[in-house]
Amino acid sequence: AQSVAQPEDQVNVAEGNPLTVKCTYSVSGNPYLFWYVQYPNRGLQFLLKYITGDNLVKGSYGFEAEFNKSQTSFHLKKPSALVSDSALYFCAVRDSNAGNNRKLIWGLGTSLAVNP
């Protein structure tokens, strides 16, 4: 069965420190992986995605994520956190082998708090 896990409900980091938001997945075929961010009272904004190719993907606002096939992970990272990065982060996966049932499977979200 397809699934996504974000093992941490909340991540706290100090401004200027590196941040990592974790995501692991399970699909039967090759994964299409996505990260979205949601600021308070807003919709979701796309950050980055992995489809194929280079395992390190760079996205918006200085974020990047590394696809690790052996660990089935797609952790979101940023070298230096900003207070404005505080938001809810969602990881999502789509199974490339799911035929017509290629719905996005969403993680439960991780709340990131960056402290000044």
Partner 1 sequence: EADIYQTPRYLVIGTGKKITLECSQTMGHDKMYWYQQDPGMELHLIHYSYGVNSTEKGDLSSESTVSRIRTEHFPLTLESARPSHTSQYLCASSPRVGWHTEAFFGQGTRLTVV
Residues forming the site for partner 1 (CB under 8 A)? 32, 34, 36, 41-46, 49, 51, 88, 90, 94, 96, 102-104, 106-109, 111
CA–CA separation, 42 vs 46, rounded Å?
Answer: 12
Strand, coil or helix: what is 64? strand
User: How many angstroms separate the CA atoms of 53 and 62, rounded?
Assistant: 20
* Residue among 44 and 82 whose Cβ is closer to partner 1: 44
Asked if 3 and 105 touch (Cβ cutoff 8 Å), the reply is: yes
d(CA 38, CA 94): 20
Nearer of residues 58 and 103 to partner 1, judged by Cβ = 103
- How many CA atoms within 13 Å lie on the side-chain side of 60? 10
What tokens were used for 59?
């996205």
Closest distance to partner 1 from the beta carbon of 102 (Å) = 4
